Chain A
Amino acid sequence: MCQEKAAAKVPITPPEQWVDLYGDYLYGFAMSRLRNPDAAADCVQDTFLAGIKALNRFDGSRDIKFWLRGIMRNKIVDQIRKSIKENKVDIEAEDEALLESFWFKYSGIATTNPDPWEFNPRKFYDNGEFWKVFEVCIDQVKDPARQAFVLKVLEDQSTEEVCKVMDITPNYLWVLLHRARTQLKTLLEQNWLNSK
């Protein structure tokens, strides 16, 4: 049994081969989250260096590519933290009004009557082209809503962690996520319907 488990272990790829094998993969991921080529390249470099340091803890249970991707999650958070330090998140007047509104305080929602979708996105979940357009649309969402969306939704960070990184309250995080969802919906309606 133990031998079978040992045989199933994924071999360690020497770090000298990481750039060729995983460089583009990790850079593509970092770009999809950070959209800044310099920050994405730094993120890949930090991931590789952290990977070398932690290599003795690699347990071989999954491909090293996915193990490095796991390390990169923290590096993406670090890069966003750095960018937030340079551009502190201020509450916009419109968002402040929403946070103070009766409806938000009573029900935790922004509006009882949001615009319905112009098309049914579910129909296209099996269509690879739809996800390409989706990724382009995420890129076009404005910061800091996009940063909140990346941290909370795409990188699965806890509410507490995102609030700490962005130095905002949980209520404001919710408003930013609402902004991101609304923008994403509008962008998808424009870009997807125009692409067909």
Chain B
Amino acid sequence: MLTCKQVSNALSKEDYEKLPPLKRFLLKLHVTFCVFCGKFNRQVMESQDMCRCYKQHEEELVAHRPKLDAAKREELQQLLSAHAKQD
């Protein structure tokens, strides 16, 4: 069995989905039944689920994000053209 501290340490270092299957199982078991750290660490796991899901949806958000302004775009274009000529 894992201790509260072991569960908290594992969750602070890594997304629980990346843990080996047995450790993930024991961790979920602990969090489900532990009256001390269960509520807290369940929220940590839910947060990890949410962030994983956000990253999967990130490509859909591209259109709504800020765009380069014209001056910076021009500056970058010149820089890349100059470097491309050198190579």
Contact = CB atoms under 8 A, between A and B. Distances in A.
B26 interface: no
Nearest to A149: B51
A134 B61 CA distance: 11
Contacts of A191: none
B76 A45 contact: yes
Nearest to B71: A41
Interface in B47-87: 47-51, 53-55, 57-58, 60-62, 64-69, 72-73, 76-77, 79-81, 83-84, 87
Contact of B39 (A29, A45, A114, A154): A114
Nearest to A55: B87
Given A16-B81, A19-B77, A109 B40 contact: yes
Interface residues of A, number: 52
B8 to A, nearest CB: 3
Contact of B80 (A25, A29, A52, A110): A52
A109 B65 contact: no
Contact of B57 (A37, A48, A131): A131
Interface in A31-87: 31-32, 37, 40-41, 44-45, 48-49, 52, 55
A106 B40 CA distance: 14
Contacts of B37: 107-109, 112
B33 interface: no
A106 B4 contact: yes
B12 A174 contact: yes
A160 to B, nearest CB: 10
Contacts of A96: none
B39 A52 contact: no
A4 to B, nearest CB: 27
B84 to A, nearest CB: 5
Contacts of B66: 27-28, 31, 37, 40
B5 A23 contact: no
A195 interface: no
Given A112-B40, A114-B39, A131-B54, A181 B80 contact: no
A172 to B, nearest CB: 11
A135 B61 contact: yes
26 contacts: A19-B80, A27-B67, A28-B67, A29-B58, A29-B65, A32-B61, A37-B66, A37-B69, A41-B68, A45-B79, A48-B80, A108-B5, A108-B37, A109-B36, A109-B41, A112-B37, A113-B39, A128-B57, A131-B54, A131-B58, A131-B61, A132-B64, A154-B51, A170-B13, A173-B12, A177-B12
